[in-house]
Structure 1
């Protein structure tokens, strides 16, 4: 099935309010996790033009790279390492205005300057994270946190 997104530009809140129902429509009724994660990151990348957006999924004692959009990325991240591993360990969203100032930051790309990582929590356990990087300092804020947490919460990971 061919899908087209309606991309709007303007206020960040309006952009999220436009893309969220479109993501919901893309994943609704589709049982395949990889397909849904792939379409979610593609829609977010297309709407916001972020440097990198993708999922890491918990496999054993590591986060393993899942569907993403952007340059090649770190494949495996240990719990507690970098922004993604710390978000996993602390089970909370991290907004990092300057990745160089984050203790233990993992530089998958030297072009990444700021980052937001949202844990995917199901049944009280972190099962993955949504990771978004920008090439601009201080790019992410409370608006991003609220809407990205909403997107992550709405995805079906019970496959």
Structure 2
């Protein structure tokens, strides 16, 4: 699993002209799932996301986690995080999980993050043509790959 976390002051997702999710302070998370991903990867990543201390404290140091600042999450499925770009100019996506694998893991990630954060997670729509807007705060953007957890 790969996640791109962007610390934001606002973010939203629109599908067919309708807002599917929007947040103020928090994380916009682009989540890529590959066939080799497991529930253990999901649990590790969710814990890492919730515990990540990248929000400013009273001394303007990155010492606070999402819950410390009352932050929210907008979670967007993003198979293109597994683009293979070594050969040619057209990316390949063979490492990205097919919907029958990815959708249940994506839904479990929503459940897990909701449980850990203690409030509803905003989302896009899996597989839809989404228009995602954000105001990156910092900017702070962090890439986390569960294959690099050791």
Q: TM-score, normalised by structure 1?
A: 0.29
More strand by share: 2
Query: Which gives a bigger RCO, structure 1 or 2 (Cα 8 Å, sep 6+)?
Result: 2
More helix by share: 1
